[in-house]
Amino acid sequence: MIDYKKKLATLRLQTKSIFSGHPIAIAGLIGFIIFVLIALLAPWIAPQNPYDLMVLDIMDGLLPPLSKLGNGTTSWLGTDAVGRDILSAVMYGLRLSLFVAFVATTVGFLIGVFLGLLAAVKGGWVESVIMRAVDLKVSFPGILLALMMLAIFGTGVDKIIYALIIGVWASKARLTRSSALSEMQKEYIDAARISAIPNWRIMLKFLLPNSIAPVLVMVPMSLSGCIGAEATLSFLGVGVPITEPSLGLLIANGNDYLLSGKWWISLFPGLVLVSLVLCINVVADRIREHNNPFLKSMNMQ
Amino acid sequence: MIKYILKRLWHSGILAIVMSLIVFFGLYVVGDPVEMLSDDEFTEQDKIDLAIELGLDKPLFEQYFTYAGGMLQGDFGISFVHNRPVLDLILERLPATIEISLLAMIIGLAIGIPLGIFSGIKNNSRASKIISFFTTVGYSTPNFWQAIILIMVFAVFLQWLPASGRGLTNSMFGIEWAWLSLNGLQHMALPAINLAIYKICMQQRLAKSGTQEILYQEYMTFARAKGITKSRIIRRHLLRNILIPIVTITGLEIGGLIAFSTVTETIFSWPGIGKLLLDSIHMIDRPVVVAYLILITMMFVFINFVVDVMYAFLDPRIRHQK
């Protein structure tokens, strides 16, 4: 049996040893939490609902930051061509970008971990089929695969999530498999097999908790990768639809106005996008560094 | 060795066929080319005639075999939009993509590796921390956003460099190149820098971690104990050893550069194959999309094959694996 209380305590200790003494990583973590809170609370804290065409006034269009709107409120970050408040649009865009990335990462990991465990436990042709598919996937750059998928299925929030999942699962399946295979060498798995415990139970009860750690290290990297990929695809016009702008699409909208000096439409969504990805990446770097035994031993020297 | 190569070749062949099937059948469901090509005056009979003319009335498998047969003879069909052979369109735009990808690669290696070695050796210095911070920011910044910033700074505010197009091209070996003229080079600068920033950051990180791993190897300690000068240690022992992973990864990254050139080319209106792909996706120009994806797939299959064989050549353990 797994002692969850003990696990939780170890986790707390680990978190402490990852972050203490690393101010940049702490700043990244805090920044990320703030972005998530803004995304979650967007409908309540945004000055207006940027999707509601009723509240938009075309007379407010293309106002620079700190302008007064027709209804008397101040638009801190300016407005776009249809009079949408950029601050509100960024909050909602952040919400969509994070939602897409969270769903894609979670589902991608679930699929990857499941297939990796299955390959390790079953072996034989199941393993070769899964690992061949992994080879197939990892030999192509993610952005091209996503473009291919979106060319095939068309665009939309659901489609882009599928495309991102396709990008996520493979490397996790490979890592889970190798991690699970080394776990299977241990005697307790032999004992479990002799006791005729079914494969699925071995997978879930023994292999999963004991081989998941190195895979979980990849979560933040995947998350920031998905955010960047979604933004890129939306920017290219093959991502989310225009009615629900994500950060990438907001930047694309403003891109047409950049040359005429209306910089605020693209700049603010872009800054938020870069800060979000940066926050996640510094945390990811720190976690990876923490989990790299080689670097650890070197720092002690 | 020959046995291993043949085995890999067989795997690559299957991979190529599977991928071409996925691309062909996948894209078959996208849009209806007949609707695309016909205008309001087309009658139902005209549309049926057009479908027959394009071979779209045949069963899917027969269409695939016709296509695959043509492909092997260098015939990738006719673009619906440009009304020209697809292969001509792609070959015409390929040099543009190759020249900015190569330039970006050279910039990336020339700047990234020295920076990485420096920050690896002086791991705890302030300069190294600043460099590492900037490369983290660099690879956290999406490619298209870097492009927008580059355009804003260098093309709009400073007006130093042009933001779109390929400029003047000169002919060399019967191919038009932009890098042969100053005007062309100016046009290449921003897209190439855009592609290179990510490369610089990746190379810096690779070279840094490589340097740190090698620095603490026993042969390095031994070299230091022998009293060899620092610059000689770096040249003879460090550089040689970190170059091995860098060379392999650089080989694999050629594909990545071509993939990312779709984004860069689109933003800078650089007339390469990446822009051709996106334009064709938007205009549902199916023959171009299918041909591009199949050709790129073949290229990746080929690169992977070469890398596998090279690994086997360098590492006998892989050769004798069951």
Q: What is the ipTM of this complex?
A: 0.81
Pairing of strands A67-68, A74-75: antiparallel
Query: Helix, strand, or coil here: A218?
Result: coil
DSSP string, B236-293: IIIIHHHHHHHHHHHHHHHHHHHHHHHHHHHHTT--SHHHHHHHHHHTT-HHHHHHHH
Rounded to an integer, the average pLDDT of A47-57 is: 73
Measure the CA angle with vertex B77, ends B71 and B83; round to 5°.
Answer: 155
Which pLDDT belongs to residue B318?
62
- pLDDT band for position A301 (cuts 50, 70, 90): very low
B15 — contact with chain A (CB < 8 Å)? yes
Q: How far apart are CA A70 and CA A79, in angstroms?
A: 12
Low-confidence winner among A113-127, A130-144, B48-62 (lowest mean pLDDT): B48-62
Q: How far apart are CA A89 and CA A51, in angstroms?
A: 8
A282 Cα to chain B: minimum distance (Å): 8
Which of A237, A253, A246, A245 minimizes the C-alpha distance to B148? A253
B125 — contact with chain A (CB < 8 Å)? no
Query: Helix, strand, or coil here: A67?
Result: strand
- Residue whose entry in the numeric block shows the structure tokens 């855009």: B194
- pLDDT band for position A145 (cuts 50, 70, 90): confident
Q: Which residues in chain A are closer than 8 Å to B295, comparing Cβ atoms?
A: none
Q: How far apart are CA B286 and CA B280, in angstroms?
A: 7
* Whole-Å CA distances, A266 to A90, A258, A262, B194: 10, 7, 8, 18
Which pLDDT belongs to residue A97?
92
Rounded to an integer, the average pLDDT of A228-253 is: 85
Which pLDDT belongs to residue A113?
93
- In this predicted structure, the answer to whether residue B316 has a pLDDT above a threshold of 70 is no
The string of pLDDT tens digits covering residues B53-103 is 766 667 777 777 877 787 777 777 788 778 888 888 888 888 888 888 889
Residue of B nearest to A226 (CA): B142
Which pLDDT belongs to residue B321?
60
Q: Which residues in chain A are closer than 8 Å to B259, comparing Cβ atoms?
A: 140-141, 143-144
A285 Cα to chain B: minimum distance (Å): 9
Burial of B189 (0-12, 13-18, 19+ CB in 10 A): middle
- In this predicted structure, the answer to whether residue A39 has a pLDDT above a threshold of 80 is yes
Rounded to an integer, the average pLDDT of A94-108 is: 94
- In this predicted structure, the answer to whether residue A192 has a pLDDT above a threshold of 50 is yes
**Interface touch A228/B278, C-beta < 8 Å:** no
The answer for residues whose C-beta is within 8 angstroms of residue A57's C-beta and 6 or more apart is A69, A70, A71, A83
**Interface touch A294/B213, C-beta < 8 Å:** yes
Which of A96, A72, A76 minimizes the C-alpha distance to A85? A76
Among candidates A144, A285, A298 on the partner chain, residue whose Cβ is nearest the Cβ of B259:
A144
Strand (E) or helix (H) holding B103: helix B86-121
**Mutation site, A32, A127, A131, A144, interface B, largest B CB count within 10 A:** A144
- pLDDT band for position A62 (cuts 50, 70, 90): low
The average confidence (pLDDT) of chain B is: 80
Which pLDDT belongs to residue B322?
47
- In this predicted structure, the answer to whether residue A264 has a pLDDT above a threshold of 50 is yes
Q: How far apart are CA A1 and CA B148, in angstroms?
A: 54
- In this predicted structure, the answer to whether residue B138 has a pLDDT above a threshold of 70 is yes
Measure the CA angle with vertex A168, ends A165 and A173; round to 5°.
Answer: 115
Which pLDDT belongs to residue A299?
45
The string of pLDDT tens digits covering residues B192-221 is 999 999 889 988 888 888 888 787 777 778
A247 — contact with chain B (CB < 8 Å)? no
Q: Which residues in chain A are closer than 8 Å to B144, comparing Cβ atoms?
A: 231-232, 235-236, 248, 251
φ, ψ for residue A247, nearest 5 deg: -55, -40
- In this predicted structure, the answer to whether residue A300 has a pLDDT above a threshold of 50 is no
In terms of average pLDDT, the best of A100-109, A197-206, A212-221 is A100-109
The string of pLDDT tens digits covering residues B32-53 is 666 666 666 677 777 777 777 7
Contact by Cβ (8 Å): A174, A108: no
Which pLDDT belongs to residue A135?
80
The average confidence (pLDDT) of chain A is: 83
- Residue whose entry in the numeric block shows the structure tokens 């003494």: A21
B47 Cα to chain A: minimum distance (Å): 23
Query: How many residues does the structure list for chain A?
Result: 301
- pLDDT band for position B26 (cuts 50, 70, 90): confident
Q: How far apart are CA B296 and CA B250, in angstroms?
A: 17
DSSP string, A108-145: HHHHHHHHHHHHHHH-HHHHHHHHHHHHHHHTS-HHHH
Which pLDDT belongs to residue B167?
72
Which amino acid type is present at position B93?
A: R
Q: How far apart are CA A51 and CA B277, in angstroms?
A: 31
Rounded to an integer, the average pLDDT of A16-41 is: 89
Which pLDDT belongs to residue A40?
92
- In this predicted structure, the answer to whether residue A201 has a pLDDT above a threshold of 70 is yes
Which of residues A58 and A23 earns the better pLDDT score?
A23
Percentage of chain A beyond pLDDT 90 is 23
- pLDDT band for position A24 (cuts 50, 70, 90): confident
In terms of average pLDDT, the best of A29-38, A55-64, B92-101 is A29-38
Q: How far apart are CA B104 and CA B119, in angstroms?
A: 22
DSSP A262: -
Rounded to an integer, the average pLDDT of B158-185 is: 74
A187 HSE (CA, 13 A, CB side): 0
Which of B278, B280, B303, B275 minimizes the C-alpha distance to B93? B275
Low-confidence winner among A75-84, B131-140, B224-233 (lowest mean pLDDT): A75-84
- In this predicted structure, the answer to whether residue A130 has a pLDDT above a threshold of 70 is yes
Inter-chain CB pairs, A–B, below 8 Å: 103
B174 Cα to chain A: minimum distance (Å): 30
Contact by Cβ (8 Å): B1, B312: yes
Which pLDDT belongs to residue A103?
96
Question: pTM for this structure?
Answer: 0.84
**Interface touch A152/B282, C-beta < 8 Å:** no
**Mutation site, A152, A234, A277, interface B, largest B CB count within 10 A:** A152
- pLDDT band for position B111 (cuts 50, 70, 90): very high
